[in-house]
Amino acid sequence: MEPATYDISLLFVEDDEFNIQITSLLLEPMVSRLFIARDGVEGLELYKNCAPDIVLTDILMPNMDGLEMSRRIRLINSDCQIIALSMVDAPETLIGCINIGINQYVQKPVEQQRLQKAVGICANHIFMKRHIKQQNSRIAMLSQALEQLPTPVAIVDVNGCFRFMNSQFTRLTGFVSDTVPQGGNLFLESTVVTKSEEAAFLDAVAGSAPWQGELVSRNSEGESYRETVSITPLYDGSGKVTLVMKCTEAVEL
């Protein structure tokens, strides 16, 4: 079976030339970029310069051993994925790996299947972190876009809790997210201007359907105003509903 190829970079630190050649042949099909260092000093310098996703290191090496190099790498990046290689299975070696927080441990002589599994586990962690970072970036971009809209916009759950409101919504209502009454009437005790639309409005509040119409609402000072709003339900992957409220016009009464 051909090994999986991961879009990651890997630093391989090993002092034995024969092991470097053999293990490199196993690693090259697995990763998109491979760096090689021949002791901990060179490995640490390469890590500082190249910031690889994974470090695969022998433990017993001259100048600086793999555990000391890993400890120093942890000071640079506490979440770096590190795989230790060793022929020695002594308790003190394993304890050293645990204390430093080595992610995976592979015994020598290296077998392709075990190495592939260790690299795969580390790669999956890296991909998850990348995904979370991308999601957070998208959320920040969306939040910034909503904040810069010239119209009042708020995001509310069906329990009446405001999850987000832009500055225009705050200017209109006088509220900020942590001062809005929670769990009461959904939109600041708003009432529908046209009574025949009340059922459709309540469906929108429950997340059943979008709605657009006129409401009479009150701001933080208790003053009434008439607003034209649209309510749009949004569903996440689990079916949970949040509501986007957008105000296109507001007139004091």
**What are the structural domains, with CATH classification, of the chain?**
6-142 (3.40.50.2300), 149-252 (3.30.450.20)
> What's the pLDDT score for residue 174?
82
Q: Take residue 26 and report the two structure tokens written for it.
A: 């196993």
> What's the pLDDT score for residue 178?
61
pLDDT band for position 192 (cuts 50, 70, 90): confident
* 46 has pLDDT over 70: yes
> What's the pLDDT score for residue 89?
66
> What's the pLDDT score for residue 183?
46
Please give the share of the chain, as a percent, with pLDDT higher than 90.
44
> What's the pLDDT score for residue 61?
92
* 119 has pLDDT over 80: yes
Average pLDDT, the chain: 86
* 32 has pLDDT over 50: yes
pLDDT digits (tens, 9 = 90+) for 130-185: 999 998 898 889 888 888 888 889 888 777 777 888 889 888 888 776 655 554 44
> What's the pLDDT score for residue 88?
66
How do 241-252 and 224-235 pair as beta strands? antiparallel
Q: Which residues pair with 81 in a beta bridge?
A: 54
> What's the pLDDT score for residue 236?
78
